[in-house]
Amino acid sequence: MAVTITASQFKTYFSRGQFTYGDTLPEIRDADIEAAIAEASAVWNEGIYPTEAVATIALYYLTAHFLLLDTESNGQAVYTQSSRSADGLSESVQLPADIMDGPLAFYTTTYYGQKWIALTRPYMGGLVYCVAGATTP
């Protein structure tokens, strides 16, 4: 399986206004998308996904994560709500500690990174089996 995406495919996938595309700053240019695809491809392991379709979706979200980090300094992450108040308008949010403190912490800084974690995490664990046996010299 060899999964790749292009800037035009990315723009089609994220076509509901998530990003503003164009040729003038602060719009997102094709060159910005291509740079984000290259960055995502450098840290992405397509071999862990069960199908090409799942791997492609994961690559879209990982690319969006890098694109947002590169182009919008005010990109705010969306975290799980842990408490809420009413009249004083207070809200607390958090992500699980194993994600925030582990090697995936970098990807929690944007919504797209969090979505990539959600898509990828089921395939990151592995099973270890012990089998009785011996070797011969």
pLDDT digits (tens, 9 = 90+) for 47-91: 888 999 999 999 999 999 889 877 764 545 555 556 666 677 776
Residue 7 has φ and ψ, to the nearest 5°, of -60, -40
- Name the pTM for this structure: 0.63
How far the first Cα of the chain sits from its last, in Å, is 39
Q: Is the pLDDT of residue 116 over 70?
A: yes
pLDDT of residue 75: 47
In whole angstroms, give the CA distance from residue 119 to residue 116. 5
- At 64, the amino acid letter reads A
Domains of the chain, residue spans: 7-75+110-123
Q: Is the pLDDT of residue 10 over 50?
A: yes
Q: Long-range CB contacts (< 8 A, 24+ apart) of 19-27?
A: 19/64, 19/67, 26/71, 26/72
